[in-house]
Chain A
Amino acid sequence: MKTASPSFFKATMAIVQKDLSAELRSRELLSAMLVFSMLVILIFNFALELDPDVREKVTAGVLWTTFAFAGTLGLNRSMAVEKDRGCMDGLLLAPVDRSAIFFGKAISNLAFMLIVEAIVIPLYGLLYNETRIFQPGFLGVILLGSIGYIAVGTLLSAMSVQTRTRDVLLPILLFPVAVPVLLASVKASGGLLAGAEFAEILTPLNLLIVYDVVFIAISFMVFDFVVEE
């Protein structure tokens, strides 16, 4: 199917640019994700009574749960917009490789998630006077975890928007499949916060990388089947 199409990279970037500039104008997705994240942390604060002793153990878990919930919100919205306004058909008609659409959507979804994280993490640090979360290792784990979560999430959201139950279905589909990412990330980032040696968190870190690679590859391969009409 090689036609005089723009390069793969250009096509991907065009989609990312479209999503980012649309978001820059409306800001509806990011604001929803941010407010939602703060609400989740607020609820955790009272549900778990986050005093210093408890925080010692649950900071990584609280942050990851927040990101996972906010992530589904963003994933749902970003794919629903394409579907509702018929943009998806337009994208599919474009003479570009279908996987460029996948990578474009995945990269913009990742950008939204990282922006939310970049605001929520410092806020959490500020609220709880928690400076340990700014270490580069912790942020690296957050990045790796987000990549895996978004890769499989983008694929599944493309599926769930085409079903009758739509938004309700995405978390149900995504959470059980994303369990390894969430667990490995919590394990690795929790270990870092507890001041563990690098060797101790190497196994969850490796599994996280394996998951990222496997699921990016598989999502890339099957995305065609998900969007074809």
Chain B
Amino acid sequence: MQTKPLTLKILDVASIIVLAISTYLALVFAPTEAVMGDVQRVFYFHIGTAWVGLVGFVLAAGTGIAYLVTKDMKWDRLEVAAVEVSTVFFFITIVLGSIWARPAWNTWWTWDPRLTTAAVTELIYIAFFMLRQGIEDPERRARFGAVYALLGGLSAPITFMVIRLFRTIHPIVVGSGQGEKLPLTSDMRVAFFFALFAFTVIFIDLMWHRIRLGSLEEKVEQLKLNVSM
């Protein structure tokens, strides 16, 4: 295994810096929201983590297809890295959302379309890891993982559309819909877009580390195989 590339080292430092700046922007710089008060500040990280969470899941479905077509293990490593990092971020999204929902909706959890879809998506990707754990052959593990990531990526949007038939109370920031709108002031926008940027950097950094770990794992597996033979 080569030593850590310089770019990755720089990215590590950059991740810490942008996280610090983003924290400052969210907690101090952004004005306090008039109706909801300080608890609204959780929103910046909520969106940031949700964004990278979703990017990861879409990436996983894409790399799944790429693996099935090329049978190149590098896509598998990318897929596992994407799902693993995204599952954690998505969990953070759900927890942060709950923290916000408690004062705003007076409940930790409600079966709102977005919340339900988030929960189902999280369960799909936990199942993804349970599936992979049960398979020893790395090639088959990669194949099944790719198929399942693809199914999960297709099923989640349909879940969302179905649950939307029931009513929603989740605020809408991006895109259109009939839900409650959340107007952002310009300072809020700065904090908002910086949070998106910060989490994207952190996501790439963590992905890179996980991919390196993946190739290390593969090497160990190979060495174990050599010893036993």
**Contact pick for B165, options A172, A204, A228, CB 8 Å:** A204
Tell whether, in the assembled complex, residue A177 and residue B151 are in contact, meaning their CB atoms are under 8 Å apart: yes
Decide yes or no whether B127 CB sits under 8 A from chain A: yes
A 169-189 binary contact with B (CB < 8 Å = 1; else 0): 100110111111001100100
Q: By CB atoms of chain A within 10 A, which of B133, B150, B158 has the most?
A: B158
How many chain B residues touch A (CB < 8 A): the figure is: 29
Expressed in whole angstroms, the minimum distance between the Cβ of B117 and any Cβ of chain A is 9
- Is A164 among interface residues, defined by CB-CB distance under 8 A? yes
Contact: A163 with B134, CB < 8 Å?
Answer: yes
Partner of B127, one of A172, A207, A228: A172
C-alpha gap A183/B165 in the complex (Å): 10
Residues on A with beta carbons closer than 8 Å to the beta carbon of B68:
222, 225
Q: Which of A183, A215, A218 contacts B159 (CB 8 A)?
A: A183
| Given A169-B130, A172-B130, A184-B162 contact (CB < 8 Å) | yes
Q: How far is the CB of A214 from chain B (nearest CB, A)?
A: 6
Interface residues on A, range: 20 to 34
Residue A162, interface by CB 8 Å: yes
Interface string of A216-229 (1 = CB under 8 A from B): 00100010011010
Give the dominant DSSP class at B's interface. Answer: helix
Give bound CA distance, A178 to B154, whole Å.
11
Taking CB atoms and an 8 Å cut-off, the chain B residues in 142-175 that contact chain A are 143-144, 146-148, 150-152, 154-155, 158-159, 161-163, 165
When the two chains form their complex, are residues A225 and B147 in contact, meaning their CB atoms are under 8 A apart? yes
A147 to chain B, nearest CB (A): 15
CB nearest to A214 among chain B residues: B154
Provide the residues of chain A in CB contact with B148, threshold 8 Å: 156, 159, 173
Shortest Cβ distance from residue A24 to the other chain B in the assembled complex, whole angstroms: 32
Partner of A162, one of B133, B135, B155, B158: B135
Complex Cα–Cα for A155 and B150 (A): 13
Residues A86-143 near B (CB distance < 8 A): none
Across the two chains, which residue of chain A brings its CB closest to B64? A222
Contacts of B147 in A (CB 8 A): 155, 159, 222, 225-226
* A152 close to chain B: CB less than 8 A: yes
Inter-subunit contact A163/B131 (CB<8 Å): yes
Contact B159 A179 (CB under 8 A): yes
Inter-chain contacts of A211 with B (CB < 8 A): 158
Residues of B within 8 A of A (CB): 68, 120-121, 123-124, 127, 130-131, 133-136, 140, 143-144, 146-148, 150-152, 154-155, 158-159, 161-163, 165
Q: Which 9 A-B pairs have the closest CB atoms?
A: A163-B134, A180-B158, A164-B134, A176-B123, A176-B124, A165-B134, A177-B155, A183-B162, A180-B162
